[in-house]
A = this chain, B = another copy of it.
Amino acid sequence: MLIDIALDAYGSDKAPEPEIRGAILACRTLPVRVHLIGPEPEVRDLLDEHLENEDLPISVVHASERIGMEEKAAHAVRHKKDSSMRVGLKLVRERKCAGFVTAGNTGAAMATAKMVLGALPGVDRPALATPMPTSKGNPCVLLDVGANVDCKPHNLEQFAVMGEMYARSVLKIHKPRVGLLSIGEEESKGNDLTRDALPLLKALPIHFIGNVEGRDIFNGNADVIVCDGFVGNVALKTSEGIGRFVRDALRESLTKTVTAKVGALLSRQAFNDFRRRLDYTEYGGAPLLGVRGVCIIGHGSSNDNAIYNGIRVAYEFAKAGTNEKIEREFAQRPTRGHGAHTDPEATNPDATIQ
Contact = CB atoms under 8 A, between A and B. Distances in A.
Contacts of A184: 147, 350-352
A246 B241 CA distance: 13
Contacts of A149: 183, 190-192
A259 interface: yes
B241 A253 contact: no
Interface stretch (A39-47, A213-221, A300-308): A213-221
Contacts of A188: 348, 350
A350 B32 CA distance: 53
A169 interface: no
A29 interface: no
A181 interface: yes
Interface stretch (A86-94, A260-268, A319-327): A260-268
Interface stretch (A155-163, A272-280, A290-298, A332-340): A272-280
Contact of A218 (B242, B253, B266): B242
Given A246-B246, A250-B274, A274-B249, A191 B150 contact: yes
A48 interface: no
A278 B184 CA distance: 24
A238 interface: yes
Given A242-B242, A278-B249, A259 B267 contact: yes
Contacts of A228: 191
A270 B278 contact: no
Contacts of A238: 214-215, 217-218, 235, 238-239
A138 interface: no
Interface string A116-156: 00000000000000000111000000000001011000000
B253 A260 contact: no
Given A184-B352, A231-B231, A267-B260, A214 B237 contact: yes
A70 B18 CA distance: 50
Interface residues on A, range: 35 or more
Interface string A73-88: 0000000000000000
A350 B263 contact: no
A257 to B, nearest CB: 7
A234 B191 contact: no
Contacts of A191: 149-150, 228, 230
Nearest to A266: B263
A228 B149 CA distance: 14
A262 to B, nearest CB: 5
A346 to B, nearest CB: 11
In the complex, which of the residues A219, A265, A266, A351 has the most CB atoms of chain B within 10 Å of its own CB atom? A266
Contacts of A237: 183, 213-215
Contact of A263 (B134, B147, B264, B273): B264
Interface of A: 72, 133-135, 147, 149-150, 181-184, 186, 188-192, 194, 213-219, 227-231, 233-246, 248-250, 253-254, 256-257, 259-260, 262-271, 273-274, 277-278, 348, 350-352
